[in-house]
Amino acid sequence: MCGIVGYVGHSAGRVNTGHNALDVVLEGLRRLEYRGYDSAGIAVVADGTISSRKKSGKLSNLVAELEASPLPESLTGIGHTRWATHGGPTDQNAHPHLSDGDRLAVIHNGIIENFAELKQELLRKGVTFRSETDTEVAAALLGDIYRNQLKGDASNGGLTKAMQLACQRLEGAFTLLAVHADQPDVVVAARRNSPLVVGLGDGENFLGSDVSGFIDYTRRAVELGQDQIVTITADTVEITDFYGTPAEGKEYHVNWDPASAEKGGFPSFMEKEIHDQPDAVLQTLLGRSDVNGKLTLDELRVDPELLKSVDKIIVLACGTSAYAGQVAKYAIEHWCRIPTEVELSHEFRYRDPIVDQNTLIVSISQSGETMDTLMAVRYAKEQGAKTVSICNTNGSTIPRESDAVLYTHAGPEIAVASTKAFLAQITAAYLLGLYLAQLRGNKFQGEIKDVLADLNKIPAKIQQILDNEAQIKELGQAMADAKSVLFLGRHVGFPVAMEGALKLKELAYIHAEGFAAGELKHGPIALIEEGQPVFVVVPSPRGRDSLHAKVVSNIQEVRARGAKTIVIAEEGDEAVKAYAEHVFYIPETPTLLAPLLSTVPLQIFALALASAKGYDVDQPRNLAKSVTVE
């Protein structure tokens, strides 16, 4: 939530990069806009003053403002794209916020929880405020400390010292970036429970909420720890804790290139990412098993003996990632016979869950920064649980704080609504389940090899669905006026139904619900009236028990009450045709793996319907990609 960029460039005697801070910061904001798009703003230090522009709405509004009223050339700048928390999405509440006679500019991601009491204290000192934000309070506190406590003396530690003292007083979660006209070659930043990475250039350095903030300029990044402050100049990066004790950051190489974060000829990032899915699954499978079908998850640095002693698994996640967790539950319980619960991170954190050293926590997060999940993982660790993170973002906080990580290799996911990360998460969770089964001897090696062989066929099958997307796109366009759509599924089809509904809610802003098909008769069937569209995810007729027959009965129940049924079924399932207005066939695959296929038509449907309504599918209203507040 909120995208943050900082830049100091072009030091004397080094490579002349020729970068104007405005260009670097704007480019970074363009790439980070998926983190929030309620407003955008920028501040540069030039000619001994701070110059800033800010505008409510998308980044394009700020760009128009900058064209009308350009900023001076500069080597030092900060920029922000906002997801509103305190105060509405207005020009006044947009960042940067200024203090110390407008010589200090601050941008912020997170929530300052004690802002009200700090504000009262500053008001008593005669400080005036121009916005409703907690950020302006942090800016004012920083300005007050710099001017009144440190006497504006840059030799006394200047802005870095002021930031340390301010952070000692701030509560909550925050990334703060500050520039001061007195120190034109410096950006100072702080982080507590909110993301921030440093980019290392040659004669220039960068800050970003994530590496996409500077990926056009460098792939050398430095991870920061909790409660750290970093001061960058063009040539130096100095890290301390909030009390000035020096600290080390961990450097790493960013292994994706800027082109992978471009639309690649598709009209939207979301459409491109849907089409990335065969590769996302493939990359997540690659290198994780040997020719004999033996899983080699070397990155899982948890002692195998500990994994053998696990007697309960709790999957923690939010939103789409939680639906991936629900799919994982079916597979893990089936393969490993370990009781597996799936819980929304924010619900887990604030009850009194039963967790001990034999509990394995599996967190699932695309961003690795979701605050609800981070807090839940920390809480579980405090109770003695072992923690494994399934994550798509290298170096992010949740994997860093977990005992082990299994990275999904979906590549950068830019569209706010998750697609390829979901399939990659499910794939990684399957690998984890199979690995546990292998370790604990629940499955013969040959059985594991067979499942892996089926998994390896999935990318080509997803591609087959994508090659035939026209039919489902047409339906999405034709249903642009739908007021409500229901989704039904059983077994692993149930989380798929919920994911299909979530995609439609967040992209097309229409009422959509996913139900367990068997639950319908316990209440929700009352919603069915003439013409109500109902998607049904039908399991394979070759699958276990009478699952298929039960779902077919559920289709008949809703049709008898006037529903218009749209069925996702396996190729060759002729039986469903009689009960469906539309049938979309997916290739044959074992039931447990079917979510990797049945989700795809639902994603395409939501994309097509929302596009037909003229909505921005990459940046749906009210949302942000990375939810870094609780």
Give me the active site residues, please: 2, 625
Q: Is 209 in the site for ligand F6R (CB under 6 A)?
A: no
- Smallest gap from residue 482 Cβ to ligand F6R (A): 19
Report the distance separating Cα 212 and Cα 261, nearest Å.
Answer: 8
Q: Which stretch binds ligand F6R (CB under 6 A): 16-24, 102-110, 239-247, 312-320?
A: 312-320
Site for ligand F6R in 417-476 (CB under 6 A): 417-418
Q: Is 320 in the site for ligand F6R (CB under 6 A)?
A: yes
Report the distance separating Cα 330 and Cα 546, nearest Å.
Answer: 17
In order of 284, 352, 381, 402, 470, the CA distances from 220 in angstroms are 23, 42, 31, 23, 41
Nearest residue (CB) to ligand F6R, 166 versus 497: 497
- Smallest gap from residue 409 Cβ to ligand F6R (A): 15
Nearest residue (CB) to ligand F6R, 166 versus 415: 415
Q: Which stretch binds ligand F6R (CB under 6 A): 145-153, 167-175, 201-209, 317-325?
A: 317-325
Report the distance separating Cα 554 and Cα 327, nearest Å.
Answer: 21
Nearest residue (CB) to ligand F6R, 371 versus 451: 371
* C-beta neighbour count of 521 within 10 angstroms: 11
- Smallest gap from residue 499 Cβ to ligand F6R (A): 8
Query: Please, which contacts does 250-255 make with residues 24 or more away whose CB atoms are closer than 8 Å?
Result: 250/222, 250/223, 250/395, 251/200, 251/220, 251/221, 251/222, 251/223, 252/221, 252/222, 252/223, 252/394, 252/395, 253/219, 253/220, 253/221, 254/211, 254/215, 254/219, 254/220, 254/221, 254/394, 255/219, 255/394
In order of 179, 403, 526, the CA distances from 295 in angstroms are 50, 19, 47
Nearest residue (CB) to ligand F6R, 320 versus 554: 320
Output the residue with the shortest Cβ distance to ligand F6R.
319
Report the distance separating Cα 409 and Cα 389, nearest Å.
Answer: 13
Ordered strands of the 76-82 beta sheet? 49-56, 39-46, 76-82, 3-8, 205-208, 197-200, 220-223, 250-253
- Smallest gap from residue 281 Cβ to ligand F6R (A): 17
Residues 598/496, Cβ–Cβ less than 8 Å: yes
User: Residue 13: helix, strand or coil by DSSP?
Assistant: coil
Nearest residue (CB) to ligand F6R, 146 versus 407: 407
Site for ligand F6R in 347-376 (CB under 6 A): 365-367, 370, 373
In angstroms, the first-to-last Cα distance of the chain is 11
- Smallest gap from residue 367 Cβ to ligand F6R (A): 3
In order of 184, 320, 426, 618, 621, the CA distances from 506 in angstroms are 42, 11, 21, 10, 8
Report the distance separating Cα 108 and Cα 106, nearest Å.
Answer: 7
Q: Can you tell me which of 183, 321, 438, 619 binds ligand F6R, judged by CB under 6 A?
A: 321
- Smallest gap from residue 324 Cβ to ligand F6R (A): 8
Which residues partner with 81 through β-bridges?
Answer: 3, 40
Nearest residue (CB) to ligand F6R, 24 versus 498: 498
> x/- binding map, residues 372-411, to ligand F6R, per CB under 6 A?
-x--------------------------------------
- Smallest gap from residue 348 Cβ to ligand F6R (A): 14
> x/- binding map, residues 221-240, to ligand F6R, per CB under 6 A?
--------------------
Beta strand 340-344 with 511-516 is unpaired
Nearest residue (CB) to ligand F6R, 143 versus 319: 319
- Smallest gap from residue 173 Cβ to ligand F6R (A): 15
Neighbouring C-alpha atoms within 13 Å toward the C-beta of 619: 17
* C-beta neighbour count of 47 within 10 angstroms: 11
Report the distance separating Cα 409 and Cα 256, nearest Å.
Answer: 10
Nearest residue (CB) to ligand F6R, 129 versus 509: 509
Report the distance separating Cα 333 and Cα 313, nearest Å.
Answer: 9
Beta strand 246-247 with 237-241 is antiparallel
Q: Is 51 in the site for ligand F6R (CB under 6 A)?
A: no
Nearest residue (CB) to ligand F6R, 424 versus 558: 424
- Smallest gap from residue 456 Cβ to ligand F6R (A): 25
Q: Is 319 in the site for ligand F6R (CB under 6 A)?
A: yes
Site for ligand F6R in 600-629 (CB under 6 A): 626-627
Report the distance separating Cα 39 and Cα 2, nearest Å.
Answer: 9
Quick one: which of 168, 210, 156 has its CA closest to 192? Answer: 168
Residue count, binding to ligand F6R (CB under 6 A): 15
Which residues in this chain contact ligand F6R in the complex, by CB under 6 A? 318-321, 365-367, 370, 373, 417-418, 502, 506, 626-627
